[in-house]
Amino acid sequence: MEKLLSKKEVAEMLGLSIYTIDKWVSLKQKLPYIRLGRRVLFQLSDVEEYLITQRVEPLGKCIGDKQ
Protein backbone atom coordinates (compact mmCIF):
# COMPACT_ATOMS: atom_id res chain seq x y z
CA MET A 1 0.00 0.00 0.00
CA GLU A 2 1.25 3.45 -0.80
CA LYS A 3 1.94 6.25 1.65
CA LEU A 4 -1.08 7.77 3.38
CA LEU A 5 -1.12 11.44 4.35
CA SER A 6 -2.97 13.19 7.17
CA LYS A 7 -5.11 16.28 6.63
CA LYS A 8 -2.29 18.37 8.10
CA GLU A 9 0.26 16.91 5.66
CA VAL A 10 -2.06 17.48 2.68
CA ALA A 11 -2.77 21.05 3.80
CA GLU A 12 0.96 21.77 4.05
CA MET A 13 1.67 20.11 0.70
CA LEU A 14 -1.02 22.17 -1.07
CA GLY A 15 -0.42 25.40 0.86
CA LEU A 16 -3.98 25.37 2.23
CA SER A 17 -5.49 25.45 5.69
CA ILE A 18 -6.71 22.34 7.48
CA TYR A 19 -10.11 24.07 7.54
CA THR A 20 -10.16 23.98 3.71
CA ILE A 21 -9.27 20.27 3.68
CA ASP A 22 -12.03 19.62 6.27
CA LYS A 23 -14.49 21.51 4.08
CA TRP A 24 -13.54 19.44 1.01
CA VAL A 25 -14.01 16.24 3.02
CA SER A 26 -17.40 17.30 4.41
CA LEU A 27 -18.60 18.23 0.90
CA LYS A 28 -16.91 15.17 -0.66
CA GLN A 29 -15.09 17.42 -3.14
CA LYS A 30 -11.66 17.68 -4.77
CA LEU A 31 -9.78 14.71 -3.25
CA PRO A 32 -10.71 11.10 -2.61
CA TYR A 33 -10.01 10.05 0.97
CA ILE A 34 -9.96 7.05 3.26
CA ARG A 35 -11.80 7.15 6.56
CA LEU A 36 -10.39 4.97 9.35
CA GLY A 37 -12.57 5.54 12.39
CA ARG A 38 -12.35 9.27 12.96
CA ARG A 39 -9.17 9.67 10.94
CA VAL A 40 -9.23 10.93 7.37
CA LEU A 41 -6.26 9.96 5.22
CA PHE A 42 -5.28 10.66 1.63
CA GLN A 43 -3.20 8.61 -0.77
CA LEU A 44 -0.11 10.47 -1.96
CA SER A 45 -0.86 9.57 -5.60
CA ASP A 46 -4.33 11.18 -5.33
CA VAL A 47 -2.83 14.43 -4.02
CA GLU A 48 -0.19 14.42 -6.78
CA GLU A 49 -2.85 13.74 -9.42
CA TYR A 50 -4.94 16.63 -8.06
CA LEU A 51 -1.92 18.93 -8.39
CA ILE A 52 -1.41 17.86 -12.01
CA THR A 53 -5.07 18.60 -12.85
CA GLN A 54 -4.66 22.12 -11.44
CA ARG A 55 -1.86 23.01 -13.86
CA VAL A 56 -2.63 25.94 -16.15
CA GLU A 57 -0.74 26.23 -19.42
CA PRO A 58 0.10 29.75 -20.64
CA LEU A 59 -1.52 30.99 -23.84
CA GLY A 60 1.53 32.94 -25.01
CA LYS A 61 5.12 31.95 -25.58
CA CYS A 62 6.79 29.84 -22.96
CA ILE A 63 9.96 30.87 -21.18
CA GLY A 64 12.94 29.62 -23.15
CA ASP A 65 11.19 29.58 -26.55
CA LYS A 66 13.28 31.01 -29.37
CA GLN A 67 11.79 34.00 -31.15
In a domain, 59, yes or no: no
- Assess whether pLDDT exceeds 70 at residue 63: no
Question: What is the pTM for the complete model shown?
Answer: 0.80
Domain of 38, CATH number, reads: 1.10.10
- Assess whether pLDDT exceeds 70 at residue 64: no
**For the chain, how many structural domains are there in total?**
1
Beta strands, E only, the chain:
4-5, 34-36, 39-43
Cα→Cα distances 4→9, 19, 57, Å: 10, 19, 29
User: The domain containing residue 22 runs over which residues?
Assistant: 4-53
Tell me, rounded to whole angstroms, the distance of Cα 35 from its chain centroid.
Answer: 17
In a domain, 25, yes or no: yes
| 21-58 residue pLDDT tens | 999 999 999 999 999 999 999 999 999 999 999 999 88
| 10-22 residue pLDDT tens | 999 999 999 999 9
